[in-house]
Structure formats: C-alpha cells, structure tokens
Amino acid sequence: MTRVLITGFAPFGGESVNPSWRAATLVAAEPPAGLTVTATELPCVFGKSLDTLRDAIRAKAPDLVLCLGQAGGRPGVTVERAGLNLDDARIPDNAGRQPIDEPVIADGPAAYFSTLPVKACVAAMREAGVPAAVSNTAGTFVCNHVAYGLGHLIATEFPHIRGGFVHVPWAPEQVTDGTAPSLPPATVAHGLRALLVTAAGTPAEQDLKVTEGATH
C-alpha cells in the first residue's frame, strides 16, 4: 500500500469554504485501491502552513504528498510544474501578513520542480472525464509558498518521498453570478483519485513526452 498525505487549505479572502479542503477530505474518505490516504488542513498563513505540513509528514510518514489549493477562475484542475522561491502577496493571509518580494526560504534555490509525473497526471484526470491541464505558475500567495516549501522539505528533510501541488477551481456555490468556471468538489476528487494512482505508479523521470507547454 502506498501511503498518501493529501492537504487542502482553510478558507481565505472572505470565503466560507475552500474547495481544496473539501476535495481532500473526499479523497481521504474514499481512496483509490492500493492507496491509504490521510488528509490534513493547512492554514492559509505564510510560514505556519509549512510548519503544519512538516508536522503532518512526520506524523503520517507518507510515500507521496499531494498539496491542494484554490485557484478561482481556472476552468479545470491544474497540476503545478514548479514552485518559486517568492512570496509576493496581493492580499493579506489569514493572519494579516502580506509579504512583498520575500523568499520562501532564505538562500534557497530559485525554484523546485514537482517530483510527480505532471503530464501523466493530467492525462489520467482527462481520461477520468475531469478537465485538467499543466500549470507553470502557482502564483505568489500561500499556495506557491507551500508548493515551494514542499519541494524544499523533500530536498532537505524527506528525500524518500515524492510530492507536488495541484490547484482546483472554485466550487459552484462560490460563483454567485454564474459567470466564472467552477467544478463540484466531488468531480475534483474523482480526478484526483486517478491522478494519485498514476503518480504512485509512475516516477517523474518516466513522465509522458507530450506537449503541455504555454506561450504566455
């Protein structure tokens, strides 16, 4: 059995829900065959989110870590290729902090790439009927903070695990005017189960050689 830790965030920015946490709990409640999945909610706070993630990794001893975050406005589930060593918050986090042009890790490398097969994960979700794409930016808010921080934890403290970050769209109830794209958390969770099976069985170096790039 492959042990998986899946995380989602607490609501932020005035929202009452965060679809990343809803999807994480659904996957943990009904994991795919061959995987044991536990879920941990991360605070939407710079610094504290990484402390909580580190503690969860130590407590759960996973083989694979999948961190989720909300990306309102995106039409599908997006697998992040990399996290940048940059905190540049457009809005304050849930503790009122708003770092500008600060590193996630002082003297850390400029970026960490996901150690998941990002293109194969996207293909698996599409095959499961869930809209998905590769993303080349996780933003510069707490989601990117965790995407980069996870990479740093793997590189420096937990080299035996693999992991990556995935953004999920708004849930339908968050789109009150009906003009922005959304996905039910149950649909997201269905795609994530396919992603996890693929990630567990496919090393990053054996990722698909298909076009998933972007021109801007």
Catalytic residues, by residue number, are 80, 143, 167
Pairing assessment for the beta strands 35-42 and 2-9 based on DSSP bridges: parallel
Half-sphere exposure of 4 (CA within 13 A, CB side): 32
Strand ranges, E, within the chain: 2-9, 35-42, 64-70, 77-80, 82-84, 111-113, 132-135, 162-168
What is the rounded distance in angstroms from the CA atom of residue 80 to the CA atom of residue 9? 16
Which letter does DSSP use for residue 5 in this model?
Answer: E
